Amino acid sequence: MIVATGGKSFASTGSNGDGYKWANTLDIKVSDLYPGLVSLRTKEIFDLAGLSLQNVGIQVKKDKKVLYKQLGDILFTHEGVSGPGILAMSSYVIHKEPDKIIFDLIPDKSMDEVDAFLLERMNRSSNKQLNHILEMMIPKRLVQYIMDRLNIDDSLKANETTKVQRRSISELLKCLDFEVSSFAGFDQAMITVGGIKTNQIQPQTMESKKIKGLKFVGEVLDLDAQTGGYNLQIAWTTGYVAGSTIKEGAN
């Protein structure tokens, strides 16, 4: 008997978690289950939906503890943020209940370097409006959001900008933070994080260590990885191992 019921994501295809229920009934241990590779919802709703950014620094915190830090591509949505960088992050921290996400929009420069770069641009075009100078560094819609968040008037010129205002912009470019509300659920998840614990399974055959002839493969197992075909590979590989090790004439 090979159980290949999938996880709890994509329930419309039949993967509604039955495999976990069967395992529990048979006293086979199952780890906690979470939706994996999902978007993040923020407490603040902002008019940035559809805006994508590449190679952004992504940092996730709970209180002051850093749970995750990596570069990635992000996409703002009507509820918060998504994109490859967010999906990759979600599986690592969803069970840790983070409270803040921070984006570094210019990760290749330090805070002081960003501030000096902005000052140099402002000195070069002192009569230009500040928002037009910022548009040479980040997308126009994001400039508008930053100006609004800092309560800086759109008509402010570079030579009218104070050091405090400039520094606050530089800080936000390096530390654009949002409060985390929640992650999307299993209805939007690409994979399931958690499942039948692998120490319950013989890796050479995918057979249960407790019940002879019972095998588990694919996402019903506590195996998951990032986007890029890895989860499909896990399914194919475990399925192959389980099938190819069935002994001819076995009862």
* 248 pLDDT higher than 70: no
* 114 pLDDT higher than 80: yes
pLDDT of residue 13: 81
* 11 pLDDT higher than 70: yes
- Residues 216-233 have a mean pLDDT of 91
* 227 pLDDT higher than 60: yes
pLDDT of residue 82: 97
Inter-residue contact 120 to 147 (CB < 8 Å): no
pLDDT of residue 251: 53
pLDDT band at residue 226 using 50, 70 and 90 as cut-offs: confident
- Residues 5-16 have a mean pLDDT of 87
pLDDT of residue 14: 83
pLDDT band at residue 37 using 50, 70 and 90 as cut-offs: very high
- Residues 202-222 have a mean pLDDT of 96
Strands 176-183 and 65-76: unpaired
Rounded to whole angstroms, what are the CA distances from 250 to 179, 204, 205, 238, 240?
Answer: 56, 17, 14, 20, 18
Residues 6+ apart with CB under 8 A from 112: none
* 136 pLDDT higher than 60: yes
Strands 207-208 and 201-202: antiparallel
